[in-house]
Amino acid sequence: MVLSRRLDWRWIGLKALAHALALLPLALLVRGVLGDSLGADPVAAITHQTGDWALRLVLLGLAMTPLRRLLGQAWPIRFRRLVGLYAFFYASLHLATYVVLDLGQYWSQILDDIVKRPYITVGFAAWLMLVPLALTSTRGWMRRLGRRWGQLHTLVYAVGVLGVPGLLAPDGGSGGEIGTERLRFSFPRQRRDRHLCLADFVAPKESGITDY
């Protein structure tokens, strides 16, 4: 009985450590926002980092089964659900950052981006696949679905494949969208003397002057 309790406490400690490690990227992002250390485009930094961590956790979850076979122990499987839920958490943060912070009030552009930008199309499809996986990750759903639960959760392999193009995409913009980006870009003024901002060096589109 004492041994069983020790094992339980050890498992609780390991699980708490796993939660802490999974939340560490979010904590670093929050610190970067509060300390204004995310660079010239903090929204892009948040978007990229949350997307990168979502994919990393998806791939880590996929690695749990081979790791169990390699080690001959069952403990990696006990972490698989936790890792998968955090992957969905970061993927949702990634999507929320794009919709709320990046697009801002230009929500009508969401469908245009999904159609015109392949990496957004693929990323949105991957997030949609993660939704049923997260909702059915409990033991209750495992019992209800039976064998279909395993079939449904094979979608995670597709998520892993679809997430790679988004991770490798160097930039979300394109040269033909300069006008659109200028409409929704924030031009913060410098805190030092003269208080200039980027808008002071860019000619209005209506002027017809090419300044780049």
State yes or no: pLDDT of 170 exceeds 50. Answer: no
For the chain, first and last CA: distance in Å?
74
Check pLDDT > 90 for residue 25. Answer: yes
Instruction: Measure Cα distances from 11 to 4, 27, 71, 75, 199 in Å.
Output: 11, 24, 18, 9, 55
Q: Percentage of the chain surpassing pLDDT 70?
A: 72
Q: What is the pLDDT of residue 132?
A: 84
The whole-number pLDDT of residue 67 equals 84
| Range in 30-39, 59-68, 118-127 the model is least confident about | 118-127
pLDDT at 200: 58
Predicted confidence band of residue 199 (pLDDT cuts 50, 70, 90): low
Cβ atoms of residues 212 and 179 within 8 Å: no
The model carries a pTM of: 0.71
pLDDT-based confidence at residue 75 (cuts at 50, 70, 90): confident
Helices within 72-117 (DSSP H only)? 75-96, 109-116
Which of 34-48, 73-87, 158-172 comes out lowest in average pLDDT? 158-172
Q: Could you tell me how many helices (H) and strands (E) the chain has, helices first?
A: 9, 0
Question: Tens digits of per-residue pLDDT, 81-117?
Answer: 899 999 999 999 998 888 888 777 676 777 777 777 7
CA distance 72 to 124: 36
Q: Which helix (H) or strand (E) holds 46?
A: helix 42-71
- Residue 183 CB contacts under 8 Å (≥ 6 apart), including other chains: 106
